[in-house]
Amino acid sequence: MRLAYTDEGPGPVVVLLHGFPLGREMWCEQVDGIGSIYRVIAPDLRGHGDSPAPEGDYTIDEMADDVIELLDALHLSEPVVLGGLSMGGYVALSLMARYADRIRALMLMDTRAAADTPEAVEKREELARAVLAAGHPGPAVEAMTPRLFAKLTLEQRPEKVAPLRELMRRNTARGIVGALRAMATRPDRRADLAAIRVPTLVLVGEEDVVTPPVEAQELADAIAGARLEVIPDAGHLAPYENPSVANGVILRFLDSLRP
Ligand code: MLT
Protein backbone atom coordinates (compact mmCIF):
# COMPACT_ATOMS: atom_id res chain seq x y z
CA MET A 1 0.00 0.00 0.00
CA ARG A 2 1.35 3.45 -0.91
CA LEU A 3 1.36 5.57 2.23
CA ALA A 4 1.19 9.36 2.31
CA TYR A 5 4.25 10.77 4.05
CA THR A 6 6.26 13.81 5.03
CA ASP A 7 9.94 13.80 4.06
CA GLU A 8 11.91 16.77 5.38
CA GLY A 9 15.51 17.58 5.98
CA PRO A 10 19.01 16.39 5.20
CA GLY A 11 21.21 13.85 6.92
CA PRO A 12 20.64 10.44 8.48
CA VAL A 13 17.08 9.12 8.16
CA VAL A 14 14.72 9.09 11.14
CA VAL A 15 11.33 7.43 10.52
CA LEU A 16 8.54 8.47 12.92
CA LEU A 17 5.30 6.49 13.29
CA HIS A 18 2.31 8.26 14.82
CA GLY A 19 -0.21 7.14 17.45
CA PHE A 20 -3.93 6.34 17.19
CA PRO A 21 -6.17 7.93 15.91
CA LEU A 22 -3.88 10.67 14.69
CA GLY A 23 -1.68 11.19 11.65
CA ARG A 24 1.76 12.35 10.60
CA GLU A 25 1.11 15.98 11.58
CA MET A 26 1.50 14.98 15.23
CA TRP A 27 5.25 15.08 14.53
CA CYS A 28 5.17 18.78 13.51
CA GLU A 29 7.37 19.75 16.46
CA GLN A 30 9.97 17.14 15.52
CA VAL A 31 9.92 18.16 11.83
CA ASP A 32 10.58 21.73 13.04
CA GLY A 33 13.01 20.82 15.80
CA ILE A 34 15.17 18.07 14.29
CA GLY A 35 14.30 18.26 10.59
CA SER A 36 17.10 20.74 9.90
CA ILE A 37 19.72 18.19 10.98
CA TYR A 38 18.09 14.83 10.27
CA ARG A 39 15.92 13.61 7.42
CA VAL A 40 12.56 13.04 9.09
CA ILE A 41 10.20 10.67 7.26
CA ALA A 42 6.75 10.45 8.84
CA PRO A 43 4.07 8.38 7.09
CA ASP A 44 0.34 8.31 7.72
CA LEU A 45 -0.19 4.69 8.73
CA ARG A 46 -2.95 2.84 6.86
CA GLY A 47 -6.40 3.99 7.90
CA HIS A 48 -5.10 7.43 8.92
CA GLY A 49 -4.56 10.86 7.38
CA ASP A 50 -4.06 10.88 3.63
CA SER A 51 -3.17 7.19 3.36
CA PRO A 52 -5.70 4.66 2.09
CA ALA A 53 -8.22 3.28 4.58
CA PRO A 54 -9.17 -0.07 3.07
CA GLU A 55 -12.30 -1.96 4.15
CA GLY A 56 -11.94 -4.63 6.83
CA ASP A 57 -9.79 -5.16 9.89
CA TYR A 58 -6.07 -4.41 9.81
CA THR A 59 -3.16 -6.00 11.62
CA ILE A 60 -0.18 -4.25 13.16
CA ASP A 61 2.06 -6.45 10.97
CA GLU A 62 0.28 -5.17 7.83
CA MET A 63 0.77 -1.62 9.03
CA ALA A 64 4.46 -2.43 9.51
CA ASP A 65 4.72 -4.02 6.04
CA ASP A 66 3.36 -0.76 4.56
CA VAL A 67 6.28 1.09 6.18
CA ILE A 68 8.79 -1.32 4.60
CA GLU A 69 7.08 -0.76 1.23
CA LEU A 70 7.54 2.98 1.71
CA LEU A 71 11.23 2.61 2.61
CA ASP A 72 11.71 0.42 -0.47
CA ALA A 73 9.92 2.95 -2.67
CA LEU A 74 12.29 5.63 -1.32
CA HIS A 75 15.26 3.31 -2.02
CA LEU A 76 16.24 3.36 1.64
CA SER A 77 17.93 0.00 1.91
CA GLU A 78 20.38 1.14 4.61
CA PRO A 79 19.06 0.71 8.16
CA VAL A 80 17.20 3.71 9.58
CA VAL A 81 16.51 5.13 13.02
CA LEU A 82 12.91 4.15 13.79
CA GLY A 83 10.68 5.93 16.28
CA GLY A 84 7.10 5.11 17.17
CA LEU A 85 4.60 6.61 19.56
CA SER A 86 1.98 4.37 21.16
CA MET A 87 0.32 2.53 18.23
CA GLY A 88 3.34 3.64 16.20
CA GLY A 89 5.45 1.89 18.83
CA TYR A 90 3.46 -1.33 18.34
CA VAL A 91 4.25 -1.03 14.62
CA ALA A 92 7.91 -0.29 15.41
CA LEU A 93 8.16 -3.43 17.58
CA SER A 94 6.61 -5.49 14.78
CA LEU A 95 9.26 -4.09 12.41
CA MET A 96 12.01 -4.77 14.94
CA ALA A 97 10.89 -8.39 15.31
CA ARG A 98 10.55 -9.04 11.58
CA TYR A 99 12.90 -6.64 9.79
CA ALA A 100 15.71 -6.06 12.31
CA ASP A 101 18.24 -5.53 9.51
CA ARG A 102 16.36 -2.37 8.40
CA ILE A 103 16.72 -0.67 11.81
CA ARG A 104 19.88 0.79 13.34
CA ALA A 105 18.33 2.43 16.40
CA LEU A 106 14.95 2.52 18.06
CA MET A 107 12.92 5.19 19.86
CA LEU A 108 9.91 3.86 21.75
CA MET A 109 7.69 6.70 22.94
CA ASP A 110 4.62 6.43 25.17
CA THR A 111 4.14 2.81 24.19
CA ARG A 112 4.26 -0.76 25.48
CA ALA A 113 5.23 -4.26 24.34
CA ALA A 114 2.40 -6.19 26.04
CA ALA A 115 -0.77 -7.15 24.17
CA ASP A 116 -4.20 -5.81 25.15
CA THR A 117 -5.87 -7.21 28.24
CA PRO A 118 -9.30 -8.82 27.64
CA GLU A 119 -10.89 -5.68 29.15
CA ALA A 120 -8.97 -3.45 26.73
CA VAL A 121 -10.07 -5.64 23.78
CA GLU A 122 -13.67 -5.27 24.90
CA LYS A 123 -13.35 -1.48 25.19
CA ARG A 124 -11.82 -1.23 21.73
CA GLU A 125 -14.68 -3.26 20.25
CA GLU A 126 -17.23 -1.02 22.00
CA LEU A 127 -15.51 2.04 20.55
CA ALA A 128 -15.32 0.41 17.10
CA ARG A 129 -19.08 -0.23 17.21
CA ALA A 130 -19.78 3.36 18.31
CA VAL A 131 -17.65 4.74 15.46
CA LEU A 132 -19.33 2.44 12.94
CA ALA A 133 -22.78 3.43 14.19
CA ALA A 134 -21.89 7.13 14.00
CA GLY A 135 -20.26 6.78 10.59
CA HIS A 136 -17.56 9.28 11.61
CA PRO A 137 -14.65 9.37 14.07
CA GLY A 138 -16.49 11.57 16.63
CA PRO A 139 -16.80 8.89 19.35
CA ALA A 140 -13.08 8.11 19.07
CA VAL A 141 -12.16 11.81 19.21
CA GLU A 142 -14.21 12.25 22.38
CA ALA A 143 -12.94 9.04 23.99
CA MET A 144 -9.30 9.75 23.20
CA THR A 145 -8.95 13.50 23.84
CA PRO A 146 -8.95 13.31 27.66
CA ARG A 147 -6.55 10.36 27.58
CA LEU A 148 -4.01 11.78 25.16
CA PHE A 149 -3.03 14.97 26.94
CA ALA A 150 -1.73 15.95 30.37
CA LYS A 151 -4.32 17.73 32.54
CA LEU A 152 -2.54 21.05 32.18
CA THR A 153 -2.40 20.77 28.39
CA LEU A 154 -6.11 19.96 28.29
CA GLU A 155 -7.12 22.79 30.58
CA GLN A 156 -4.73 25.56 29.62
CA ARG A 157 -3.34 24.95 26.17
CA PRO A 158 -6.24 24.85 23.71
CA GLU A 159 -3.82 25.81 20.93
CA LYS A 160 -2.15 22.40 21.38
CA VAL A 161 -5.37 20.39 21.75
CA ALA A 162 -7.48 21.86 18.93
CA PRO A 163 -5.20 20.95 15.99
CA LEU A 164 -5.00 17.34 17.11
CA ARG A 165 -8.75 17.07 17.56
CA GLU A 166 -9.01 18.35 14.01
CA LEU A 167 -6.44 15.78 12.86
CA MET A 168 -8.44 12.98 14.51
CA ARG A 169 -11.69 14.23 12.98
CA ARG A 170 -10.24 14.10 9.48
CA ASN A 171 -9.86 10.31 9.70
CA THR A 172 -12.54 7.96 8.41
CA ALA A 173 -14.73 5.66 10.49
CA ARG A 174 -13.41 2.76 8.41
CA GLY A 175 -9.77 3.58 9.16
CA ILE A 176 -10.41 4.05 12.86
CA VAL A 177 -12.19 0.72 13.17
CA GLY A 178 -9.48 -1.06 11.17
CA ALA A 179 -6.79 0.33 13.48
CA LEU A 180 -8.75 -0.42 16.68
CA ARG A 181 -9.05 -4.06 15.63
CA ALA A 182 -5.37 -4.15 14.64
CA MET A 183 -4.39 -3.01 18.15
CA ALA A 184 -6.83 -5.44 19.78
CA THR A 185 -5.32 -8.44 17.99
CA ARG A 186 -1.64 -7.50 18.23
CA PRO A 187 0.67 -10.08 19.76
CA ASP A 188 2.52 -9.71 23.03
CA ARG A 189 6.02 -8.60 22.02
CA ARG A 190 7.62 -8.70 25.48
CA ALA A 191 9.52 -11.91 24.75
CA ASP A 192 11.14 -10.21 21.73
CA LEU A 193 12.64 -7.36 23.74
CA ALA A 194 15.71 -9.28 24.94
CA ALA A 195 16.71 -9.86 21.31
CA ILE A 196 16.88 -6.13 20.52
CA ARG A 197 20.52 -5.30 19.83
CA VAL A 198 20.31 -1.71 18.60
CA PRO A 199 20.64 1.45 20.71
CA THR A 200 17.19 2.17 22.15
CA LEU A 201 15.65 5.25 23.72
CA VAL A 202 12.46 4.85 25.75
CA LEU A 203 10.62 8.12 26.32
CA VAL A 204 7.38 8.77 28.20
CA GLY A 205 5.32 11.73 29.37
CA GLU A 206 5.33 12.06 33.15
CA GLU A 207 1.52 12.17 33.15
CA ASP A 208 0.86 9.55 30.49
CA VAL A 209 -2.25 7.64 31.62
CA VAL A 210 -2.44 5.32 28.58
CA THR A 211 1.08 3.90 28.84
CA PRO A 212 2.31 5.25 32.19
CA PRO A 213 5.96 5.74 33.21
CA VAL A 214 5.95 2.51 35.24
CA GLU A 215 5.30 0.54 32.03
CA ALA A 216 7.91 2.55 30.15
CA GLN A 217 10.40 1.61 32.88
CA GLU A 218 9.56 -2.09 32.36
CA LEU A 219 10.11 -1.64 28.63
CA ALA A 220 13.49 0.02 29.18
CA ASP A 221 14.53 -2.62 31.73
CA ALA A 222 13.81 -5.42 29.23
CA ILE A 223 15.98 -3.96 26.42
CA ALA A 224 19.75 -4.21 26.81
CA GLY A 225 21.31 -0.77 27.27
CA ALA A 226 18.01 1.12 26.88
CA ARG A 227 17.57 4.36 28.75
CA LEU A 228 14.28 5.77 30.04
CA GLU A 229 13.63 9.49 29.77
CA VAL A 230 10.57 10.90 31.53
CA ILE A 231 9.30 14.12 29.95
CA PRO A 232 7.73 16.61 32.40
CA ASP A 233 4.52 18.57 31.70
CA ALA A 234 3.36 15.99 29.18
CA GLY A 235 0.86 13.17 28.93
CA HIS A 236 0.60 10.46 26.27
CA LEU A 237 1.86 12.77 23.50
CA ALA A 238 5.14 13.76 25.13
CA PRO A 239 7.04 14.79 21.95
CA TYR A 240 4.11 16.99 20.90
CA GLU A 241 3.21 18.41 24.30
CA ASN A 242 6.70 19.26 25.50
CA PRO A 243 8.85 19.47 22.37
CA SER A 244 11.61 21.57 23.90
CA VAL A 245 12.49 18.85 26.42
CA ALA A 246 11.58 15.90 24.17
CA ASN A 247 13.54 17.22 21.18
CA GLY A 248 16.57 17.79 23.41
CA VAL A 249 16.39 14.14 24.53
CA ILE A 250 15.82 12.89 20.96
CA LEU A 251 18.67 15.00 19.55
CA ARG A 252 21.10 13.82 22.22
CA PHE A 253 20.15 10.23 21.40
CA LEU A 254 20.47 10.77 17.63
CA ASP A 255 23.78 12.60 18.03
CA SER A 256 25.11 9.71 20.12
CA LEU A 257 24.58 7.43 17.11
CA ARG A 258 26.88 9.43 14.87
CA PRO A 259 30.28 7.80 14.17
C1 MLT B 1 -2.26 5.46 20.76
O2 MLT B 1 -2.00 6.56 21.24
O3 MLT B 1 -1.73 5.06 19.71
C4 MLT B 1 -3.27 4.61 21.46
O5 MLT B 1 -3.71 5.25 22.61
C6 MLT B 1 -2.70 3.30 21.78
C7 MLT B 1 -3.66 2.37 22.43
O8 MLT B 1 -4.85 2.67 22.52
O9 MLT B 1 -3.20 1.29 22.84
- The DSSP-derived string for 247-259 is HHHHHHHHHHT--
Sign of CA dihedral 209, 83, 161, 173: negative
Sign of CA dihedral 136, 21, 127, 206: negative
Helix H or strand E encompassing 221: helix 213-222
Residue at 174: amino acid letter: R
**Average per-residue pLDDT in the chain?**
97
Q: Which residue among 60, 147, 164, 211 is best mutated to probe the pocket of ligand 1, counting the most ligand atoms within 8 A of its Cβ?
A: 211
In tens, the pLDDT along 209-220 reads 999 999 999 999
Distance 43 CA to ligand 1 centre (A): 17
Give the closest residue to 42 by CA, choosing from 61, 26, 54: 26
Kindly give the number of the ligand 1 atom that is closest to the alpha carbon of 144.
5
* Ligand 1 within 6 A of CB of 21: no
Confidence of residue 161 (pLDDT cuts 50, 70, 90): very high
Question: Over 90: is that where the pLDDT of 259 sits?
Answer: no
Share of the chain above pLDDT 90, in %: 98
Residue identifier of the C-alpha nearest atom 4 of ligand 1: 20
Q: Is 204 helix (H, G, I), strand (E, B) or coil?
A: strand
pTM above the 0.85 mark? Answer: yes
* Ligand 1 within 6 A of CB of 90: no
Q: Residue 56 to residues 53, 87, 90: CA-CA distances in angstroms?
A: 9, 18, 20
Question: What gap in Å lies between CA 199 and CA 76, rounded to an integer?
Answer: 20
Average pLDDT rounded to a whole number, residues 44-69? 97
In tens, the pLDDT along 12-33 reads 999 999 999 999 999 999 999 9
In tens, the pLDDT along 165-211 reads 999 999 999 999 999 999 999 999 999 999 999 999 999 999 999 99
